[in-house]
Amino acid sequence: MKRALLIACVLLGGIAAPAEGRIYPPGEIDLGGSRPSCGWVPATVEDISDIAISTPGMIHLNPAIFRLPRPLQLFWYAHECAHQLYGTSEGQADCWAARSGRDQGWLREEDFVLIEWALADNRGDSRHQPGPQRAALIRRCFDTDSSQYAGPRAQGPGLASYAGGRRRAAASVSYDEK
């Protein structure tokens, strides 16, 4: 029943997405009533094959993200911010997003039904674990201290450090409420 209700909310959400193709400076894009910032890294909204991706110096958001519940919007943004800060490790990005959400109060224990739902049918790929295993990792990270991440760590600097002479993004995501 909860899953059916979540699907209906997502499909019938009707929330207008920001304009596609525009580059949003840090803190200017609205995600679930918050205005997240990943250091100096801007975001853009565009039709991409995933809900969100990172490239050096940019977070790309699929317009579909705006139809998701607030905790998922902020989780995927924080996940991509972690790639900017720490590199390509998916496990590390998931852990950092879960802990950031926990510590900042926008991801709560009761929100895990959303993460489990979002990942339930995901088969995984060469970089991502299958959905149920990935959701379990996210929960473990949420429940532990940041120093206890034991998964693979990305090698080298984060993506933001490759953006042509700009300073590396700040090591936190800030969320300003509207």
Ordered by start, the domain boundaries in the chain are 2-171
Query: Which stretch of 14-18, 67-71, 123-127 has the lowest confidence by average pLDDT?
Result: 14-18
Pairing of strands 52-55, 58-61: antiparallel
pLDDT exceeds cutoff 50 at 35: yes
Closest listed residue to residue 99, CA positions, set 74, 120, 73:
74
Which of the four pLDDT bands, split at 50, 70 and 90, describes residue 122? Answer: confident
CA angle 88, 122, 3 (to 5 degrees): 125
Pairing of strands 43-45, 58-61: parallel
pLDDT exceeds cutoff 70 at 39: yes
SS (H, E, C) the chain: CHHHHHHHHHHCCCCCCCCCCCEECCCCCCECCEEEEECCECEEECCCCCCEEEECCEEEECHHHHHCCHHHHHHHHHHHHHHHHHCCCHHHHHHHHHHHHHHHCCCCHHHHHHHHHHHCCCCCCCCCCCHHHHHHHHHHHHHCCHHHCCCCCCCCCCHHHHCCCCCCCCCCEEEEEC
Q: How far apart are the first and last CA of the chain?
A: 32
What was the pLDDT predicted at 2?
Answer: 36
Average pLDDT value for residue range 35-41: 93
- Which residue has better confidence, 16 or 139? 139
Residue 132 burial by Cβ neighbours in a 10 Å radius (0-12, 13-18, 19+): middle
Average pLDDT value for residue range 74-86: 94
- The span from the CA of 110 to the CA of 57, in Å, is 33
pLDDT exceeds cutoff 80 at 109: yes
81-108 residue pLDDT tens:
999 988 888 899 999 999 999 999 999 9
pTM score, whole prediction: 0.77
Mean pLDDT of the chain: 78
Q: Residue 155 contacts by C-beta under 8 Å, 6 or more apart in sequence?
A: 87
- Which residue has better confidence, 22 or 127? 22
What was the pLDDT predicted at 166?
Answer: 37
What was the pLDDT predicted at 20?
Answer: 76
What was the pLDDT predicted at 145?
Answer: 75
What was the pLDDT predicted at 46?
Answer: 96
What was the pLDDT predicted at 5?
Answer: 35
